[in-house]
């Protein structure tokens, strides 16, 4: 009976992963997520990853492999999952809109490097972020940094899109923020169906961006050829 139940659980997990089901717009972190230091996390992950490689039959005494557990542990904590740590959140300093710019501002083609939380495989794509000022403006690079911060964690693309919009809404004091992400998921491209041509598009439109005319204007901006090569 246990084996039968275990099989059903595995089927359910696989189905949920393929359908990108998420229970919340918040990253699912435990209350004690930061009860140990980054150094201790690295030591623990290094030990666990050594065990994974050993279980797979790899010889960790080989010169090419013996440093891999340490490299992976440092990469997880300090790089690709560094966005889990709230201490790494960029300061979203804003300024008064003294020049009274009243149209939408669009930062397009922001590089997205994230990791699918279902299979821990890369998500690679572009984000397009826009807002309409209600008296505050934000440095352009801050928009890139907030995308990067929320991307650097185990993610689903839908949640990432919403988190970017919410963070900028809070910083700018306006609902008039939008984000569109077009990305490739290696969990689809390199395993399972192995469809190397497909990509996933998600969007979150707040405030005025829900209006069809404003939404169309944003989409027209994104289509503009802005290549300077």
pLDDT (tens digit per residue) in 167-192: 999 999 999 999 999 999 999 889 98
Give me the mean pLDDT over the 50-75 stretch.
98
Catalytic residue selected from 155, 163, 179, 187: 187
Nearest residue to 112 via CA among 192, 193, 204, 179: 179
Catalytic residue selected from 155, 157, 163, 179: 157
Give me the mean pLDDT over the 211-225 stretch.
95
| C-alpha to C-alpha distance for 25 and 169, rounded to whole angstroms | 15
| C-alpha to C-alpha distance for 104 and 127, rounded to whole angstroms | 16
179 classed as catalytic: no
pLDDT of residue 182: 97
What's the half-sphere exposure (Cβ side, CA atoms, 13 Å) at 54?
A: 10
Q: Which two tokens stand for residue 23?
A: 């229970």
pTM of the model: 0.89
Nearest residue to 182 via CA among 134, 223, 137, 135: 223
Q: Write down all domains in the chain, each with its CATH number in brackets.
A: 33-80 (1.10.286.10), 92-223 (3.30.1130.10)
116 classed as catalytic: yes
Catalytic residue selected from 46, 107, 116, 128: 116
């Amino acid at each position: 009976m246990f084996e039968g139940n275990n099989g059903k659980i595995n089927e359910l997990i696989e189905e949920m992963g393929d359908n990108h089901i998420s229970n919340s717009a918040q990253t699912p972190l435990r209350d004690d997520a930061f009860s140990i230091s980054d150094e201790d996390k690295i030591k623990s992950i290094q030990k666990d990853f050594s065990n994974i490689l050993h279980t797979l039959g790899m010889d960790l005494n080989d010169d090419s492999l013996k440093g891999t557990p340490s490299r992976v542990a440092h990469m997880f904590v300090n790089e690709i999952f560094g966005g889990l740590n709230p201490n790494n959140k960029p300061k979203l300093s804003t300024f008064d809109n003294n020049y009274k710019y009243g149209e939408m501002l669009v930062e397009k083609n922001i590089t997205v490097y994230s990791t699918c939380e279902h299979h821990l495989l890369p998500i690679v794509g572009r984000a397009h972020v826009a807002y309409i000022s209600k008296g505050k403006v934000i440095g352009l690079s801050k928009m890139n940094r907030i995308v990067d911060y929320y991307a650097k964690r185990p993610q689903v693309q839908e949640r990432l899109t919403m988190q970017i919009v919410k963070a900028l809404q809070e910083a700018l004091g306006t609902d008039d923020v939008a984000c569109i992400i077009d990305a490739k998921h290696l969990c689809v491209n390199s395993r399972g169906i192995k469809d190397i041509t497909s990509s996933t598009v998600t969007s979150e439109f707040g405030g005025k961006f829900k209006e069809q005319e404003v939404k169309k204007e944003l989409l027209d901006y994104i289509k503009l050829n802005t290549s300077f090569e």
